[in-house]
């Protein structure tokens, strides 16, 4: 699903990869995320889609692959790269010393005036982006 930004009055949220993984671990029934889906439009950066796939791919278990397929049933739109996003992500990466995926996520949130929903402390240093910080993520593939 491609991102369209027609209804500017509705609150726009952008989910970071850490939130997508949390949703997949709770089979899409996580209360805070459900509230967000009801309150506005939800977007996901293309980089998070790639990271989400990377997270689930090595396991190849039937359950985890099903969670990955269920991911595409969530009511969100994907923000795809364009020249402006590529340039903005480069700036964000240099300015805030973020990883490449996080730089794309932060740049997409800023460009499209989305509230960034995440569990990653690295984003907290970016004061120009509205954020919902959902708490610390644990390290390791099985604990995001």
Where along the chain do its domains lie? Answer: 11-133
From CA 61, how far away is CA 4, in angstroms rounded? 34
Does this model's pTM top 0.85? My answer is: no
What mean pLDDT comes out for the span 51-68?
73
pLDDT over 70, % of the chain: 74
Q: What is the pLDDT of residue 84?
A: 98
Q: What is the pLDDT of residue 73?
A: 78
Quote the tokens at residue 26: 């709770």
Q: What is the pLDDT of residue 20?
A: 85
**Which of 18-22, 40-44, 47-51, 101-105 has the lowest average pLDDT?**
18-22
Higher pLDDT, 61 or 92: 92
- Please say whether the dihedral angle defined by the alpha carbons of residues 141, 51, 63 and 41, taken in this order, is positive or negative: positive
Question: How many other C-beta atoms can be found within 10 angstroms of the C-beta atom of residue 91?
Answer: 12
Contacts 24+ apart (CB under 8 A), 51-56: 51/17, 51/101, 52/17, 52/20, 52/21, 52/24, 55/17, 55/21, 55/141, 55/144, 56/24
pLDDT band at residue 78 using 50, 70 and 90 as cut-offs: very high
Higher pLDDT, 25 or 95: 95
Whether residue 123 has pLDDT greater than 80: yes
Higher pLDDT, 121 or 3: 121
Given 3.40.50.1010, 3.40.140.10, 3.40.309.10, 1.10.150.80, which CATH number is that of 11-133? 3.40.50.1010
Q: Is 16:48 a contact under the CB 8 Å cutoff? A: yes
Q: What is the pLDDT of residue 125?
A: 94
pLDDT band at residue 143 using 50, 70 and 90 as cut-offs: very low
From CA 47, how far away is CA 43, in angstroms rounded? 12
Whether residue 114 has pLDDT greater than 60: yes
């Amino acid at each position: 699903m491609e991102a369209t930004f027609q209804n500017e009055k509705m609150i726009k949220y952008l989910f970071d990869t850490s939130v997508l993984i949390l949703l997949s671990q709770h089979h899409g029934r996580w209360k805070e995320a459900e509230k967000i889906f009801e309150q506005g439009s939800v977007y996901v950066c293309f980089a998070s889609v790639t990271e989400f796939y990377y997270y689930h791919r090595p396991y190849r278990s039937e359950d985890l692959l099903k969670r990955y397929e269920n991911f595409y049933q969530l009511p969100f739109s994907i923000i795809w790269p364009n020249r402006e996003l590529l340039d903005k992500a480069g700036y964000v990466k240099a300015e805030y010393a973020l990883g490449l995926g996080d730089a794309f996520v932060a740049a997409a949130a800023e460009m499209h005036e989305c509230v960034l929903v995440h569990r990653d402390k690295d984003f907290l240093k970016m004061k120009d982006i509205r954020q919902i910080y959902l708490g610390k993520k644990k390290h390791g593939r099985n604990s995001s």
